[in-house]
Amino acid sequence: MLELLKRHRGKITALVLVAVPLLLMVSSAGASVGQSTTTPMRWAGGALGSVQSGMTGLLHPVTGWIGGGRRGGSEEEERLRAEVEQLREENARLVGVLQENRRLRELVGMPTRYPDFELVPARVIGRDVTPFFRVVKVRIRAEGSVEPRMPVVSSEGLVGQVHRVYEGYADVVLLSDPRSRVDAISQRNRALGLVEGLGHETDYLAEVSYLTERDEVRPGDVMVTSGMGGIFPRDLLIGEVREVRPQKGALLQEVTLEPAVDFARLEEVFVITNVGRR
Amino acid sequence: MPFVVFWIVAMVLILLEGALLSSLGVVTLALHLPVVVAIYLGIERDFATGGLLLVALLIPVEWVVAGVPGVYSMALAVVYLVMGGLRGQVQQGWGVARALAAGIGSLLHSLVMVGLFLGMGEPSLSVAVAWMIVPSVVIVAAVTVVVGRGLSRLDRMVDPRRGRSRLEFS
């Protein structure tokens, strides 16, 4: 038996290599957002999340130092340079404290901003390593039953929805992910549409589908969640219409939307855990 | 490099990429390290050992990618199988020839994903991947040379006699 395995190890390896992804594909719910995870996957994901969270923590001071000065020169220059570097470092730390202060003020204000919701705070620890999807990994910072498909918000507006949940960690699919779909309504004229992620290479834009010619959407119009579909509560800020391109002879308009949330600077988010119970 | 050590190094690299891009607020660029690792294994390792290493990496990579389950892994497996066919045919050393091979690997990876998404009836995902083909090919070609050199050096540090002919008593 062992001899047989040794003789055909190349073929067996190739078979296993193809079989594992096939099994993953067959056992999953396809491309839909919000998938359940098995207990071993929850624990494995939790362990990987801990490692990534530790790395993010270690990287913070390093990334803060990027853009530092050069070395070399006379003794006096060295001393002055060291002094400047020290002052810069202190300045950077103070700016960091001020930014944290502002962020914490916003976080303290979150419950008053969304008084009807049970909010579970989470911290962004990483993002997916491909440019094809738009997913952030978050560490859940409080007790609470976070489940797939729950909406995620920040102080700026709607971020996306929970995709998969692990032990203490979760994947959040952003609004601009091509898998994301959110029922939306225009604040100005209550025109209904569906916000879908574009997954563009250079931006976080989304599009609003199913807006007819009669809907009269204009650049600058604010889109909020409509509450239809039961996943997202009503009136969460999604973003602003950036461009409207009427299609000649077509029934629907092409509308591009800029999300209200700056996903590049996302640090703290909140999962709304009581949408179904409200 | 022993199996477990390579697995750990590859996982650290891949997790570090996610943490680094997030810390720097880089949103639209990815280094495609899972693809780079698959190409490295295909070109440098013997078929069975490299294949098993890749199998051991597939599930954690799925977690890191957070995409549609199995699609990214299947594309990685195809890249590995093709790169395995190129083993010994590409010029030694991490230079232009291997960068070109890596570019082809990345193109293949993207095309397999586009095909699978089309087969699953997800044209929007296919379009999202297709948008990124050209930058992905360029990035993977460049990153493979750098990471390939680093991993080869690490390989030689751990096992200095690797890749050299040695005299053995039979």
**ipTM reported for the complex, 2 dp:** 0.85
Of B62, B80, B127, the CB nearest to A24: B62
Overall average pLDDT of the B11-38 stretch: 84
A34 located within any domain? no
pLDDT of A202 reads 66
Overall average pLDDT of the A72-100 stretch: 72
Residue in this structure with the two tokens 């490299």, named with its chain if needed: B50
Of B63, B125, B127, the CB nearest to A48: B63
Distance from CA of B164 to the nearest CA of A (A): 23
pLDDT of A101 reads 73
Mutation for testing the A interface, residue in B14, B124, B126, B140 having most A CBs under 10 Å? B124
Q: Give A198 or A106, the one with higher predicted confidence.
A: A198
A221 located within any domain? yes
Mean pLDDT lowest among A113-117, A134-138, A170-174: A113-117
Residue A195: domain span: 181-260
A12 located within any domain? no
pLDDT of A275 reads 76
**DSSP 8-state assignment for residue A252:** B
Is the pLDDT at B78 greater than 60? The verdict is yes
Q: Give A235 or A65, the one with higher predicted confidence.
A: A235
Is the pLDDT at A139 greater than 80? The verdict is yes
HSE toward the beta carbon, residue A155, CA cutoff 13 A = 14
Q: Give A65 or B1, the one with higher predicted confidence.
A: B1
| Helices A39-65 and B3-24: angle between axes, nearest 10 degrees | 60
Residue in this structure with the two tokens 């299947």, named with its chain if needed: B74
Residue B117 binned pLDDT confidence (cut-offs 50, 70, 90): very high
Is the pLDDT at A69 greater than 50? The verdict is no
pLDDT of A68 reads 45
Q: How far apart are the first and last CA of chain B?
A: 25
Q: Answer with the one of A83, A111, A139 that is the final residue of a domain.
A: A111
Say which residues have a Cβ less than 8 Å from residue B89's Cβ, sequence separation at least 6.
none
Q: Which residues of A touch B59 (CB under 8 A)?
A: 20, 44
Residue A91 binned pLDDT confidence (cut-offs 50, 70, 90): confident
Distance from CA of A263 to the nearest CA of B (A): 8
Q: Does B90 touch chain A (CB under 8 A)?
A: no
Pair of tokens at residue B107: 């193109």
Is the pLDDT at A144 greater than 70? The verdict is no
pLDDT of A44 reads 82
For residue B65, give the 3-state DSSP assignment.
helix
Overall average pLDDT of the A142-146 stretch: 76
Q: Does B4 touch chain A (CB under 8 A)?
A: no
How is chain B split into domains, by residue range? 3-158
Of B15, B51, B69, the CB nearest to A13: B51
Residue in this structure with the two tokens 């807006």, named with its chain if needed: A211
A210 located within any domain? yes
HSE toward the beta carbon, residue B103, CA cutoff 13 A = 12
Overall average pLDDT of the A178-206 stretch: 84
A123 located within any domain? no
Q: What is the CA angle A98-A101-A104, rounded to 5?
A: 155
Taking a C-beta distance cutoff of 8 angstroms, is the pair B1, B158 a contact? yes
Taking a C-beta distance cutoff of 8 angstroms, is the pair A54, A137 a contact? no
Number of domains comprising chain A: 2
Distance from CA of B116 to the nearest CA of A (A): 10
- Distance between CA A168 and CA A47 in Å, rounded? 9
Q: Give the rounded distance of the alpha carbon of B51 from its chain centre.
A: 12
Cβ pair B30:A133 closer than 8 A: no
Q: Give the rounded distance of the alpha carbon of A83 from its chain centre.
A: 40
**DSSP 8-state assignment for residue A164:** E
Distance from CA of B157 to the nearest CA of A (A): 25
Please return the burial class of A227, using the count of CB atoms within 10 Å of its CB with bins 0-12, 13-18 and 19+: middle
Is the pLDDT at B120 greater than 60? The verdict is yes
Percent residues over pLDDT 90 in chain B: 51
pLDDT of A278 reads 53
Is the pLDDT at A72 greater than 50? The verdict is no
Overall average pLDDT of the A37-49 stretch: 81
Chains A, B: CB contacts within 8 A come to: 182
Q: Residue A223 sits in a domain of what CATH number?
A: 2.40.10.350
A98 located within any domain? yes
Q: Which residues of B touch A197 (CB under 8 A)?
A: 124
Q: Does B117 touch chain A (CB under 8 A)?
A: yes
pLDDT of B109 reads 95
Mean pLDDT lowest among A12-16, A49-53, A108-112: A108-112
